[in-house]
Amino acid sequence: MAPGGRICKEVPESHSMFSDYSIPTSNAENKISSSTKTPIISGGKYVISSSTGVHDLLECPVCMSSMYPPIHQCPNGHTLCSDCKARVHNCCPTCRYELGNIRCLALEKVAESLELPCRHQALGCHDIFPYYSKLKHEQHCRYRPYNCPYAGSECSVTGDIPILVGHLKDDHKVDTHDGCTFNHRYVKSNPQEVENATWMLTVFNCFGRQFCLHFEAFQMGMAPVYMAFLRFMGDEDDAKKFSYSLEVGGNGRKLMWQGVPRSIRDSHRKVRDSQDGLIIQRNLALFFSGGDRQELKLRVTGRIWKEQ
């Protein structure tokens, strides 16, 4: 038990209290020296070639995520992140003593001296980053996994493009086609029911890349609409190298759309809510369908091309 330690009672913030507990400082330093391979010193920073021990040291015991300032510790030297401090009601999850307001400045300094590889190293990112810059980079790393683009369910699968293409075919039974032109016919027997339904997702292999064609019905405010749009299976910079056109019509009328495919980094809902695609009001869609307006019959054609 730490001197003066109390179980889940307030420990006032004190600079002298921090200096009295020197064990966490030495423990942190000892753990780094004994748990990792010899670090490479570059520009005054420690580049850790094997970071397992460092990750253990800087890992919050509650949420298991890396800790960033302020890093808190209890009087016995157990650490946790600031988010989890409130979550555990200011009570140390390891020894159950009151956390108080003690910061583990030694561990924060240790983290500041480190440079670590990106967590997506196995996917192709070979850059090294200061510890406090690493998290921001990983959130935008071009090698980070993609989310499944299927909109019909809240699918949690992530991976690179080949993995997601196989996943869409095998698990979501999505049709795939080769070529840069398409001609699809969408039929719905009861067009009066919209209910935010995703009707179809088709994957096209074109120019050696993959594109997702979405067609769905949903409520835009009070108005039921149908919408078709294209998403690119890759990053935004590559998506901008392509353009596409969509066309729908009937009864001698035609509605056209031309745009740039959106990256699947943007969620399906984000693209849909931005109205970045061909939008067809239900009354117009039924007019295109002809007949007695009791059945929706829409033919959507289009093509994809690469900008020069």
Summarize pLDDT for 122-161 with one digit per residue, the tens. 888 998 888 888 888 998 898 999 999 987 667 889 999 9
pLDDT digit string (tens) for 24-40? 333 444 444 434 444 44
pTM above 0.85, yes or no: no
If DSSP codes are grouped into helix, strand and coil, which group holds residue 259? strand
Give the Cα-Cα-Cα angle 201, 151, 147 (nearest 5 degrees). 105
Q: What gap in Å lies between CA 216 and CA 196, rounded to an integer?
A: 8
| Of 126, 136, 116, nearest in space to 51 by CA | 116
Residue 197 has pLDDT above 70, yes or no: no
Query: How confident is the model at residue 23, as a pLDDT?
Result: 30
The yes-or-no verdict on residue 307 having pLDDT over 80 is yes
75: number of Cβ within 10 Å: 24
